[in-house]
Amino acid sequence: MDEDVDYNQINGIALAYLGDAVYETPIRRHLLALGITKPWRLQKKATDYVSAKAQAGLIALMKKDNFLKPDEISVFKRGRNAKSHTHAKHTSVLTYRISTGFEAVLGYLELSNQHQRVTNFCDWCIKQVDVGRVKYEK
């Protein structure tokens, strides 16, 4: 990455675009490690982790557990408040915006080369889903 880029100035939607991809790989690895191999089952199970509703539930837990650092909270808000030209599918606009903030944090962490924090973030999220702490309507 370019050392002169100020990651605090990048549009929240652009950060979320990258963050979506950053989060997808650890989730897919996790599902394969669980022994799930059928594509339809992988896709169905992945929604427990990557849906807008799941990500909004994870953000609620992060707030409760004080998981996010101050700079991450700022990036989350920038992503959540960004004007998007896409619409929410199967969820409310608010839930969709919260999930955009979630993904923006991951995009920010990736672009700012905070790879250990990305790993910790994803591992924490996977654990919360696996132990059933994430509450949302499917």
Active site residues: 20
DSSP structure string for 71-83: HHHHHHHHHHHS-
Q: What is the CA radius of gyration of the chain?
A: 14
Residue 136: CB atoms within 10 A of its CB come to 16
Cα 128 to Cα 6, 25, 48, 111, 121: the distances in Å are 32, 17, 11, 25, 11
Burial of 60 (0-12, 13-18, 19+ CB in 10 A): middle
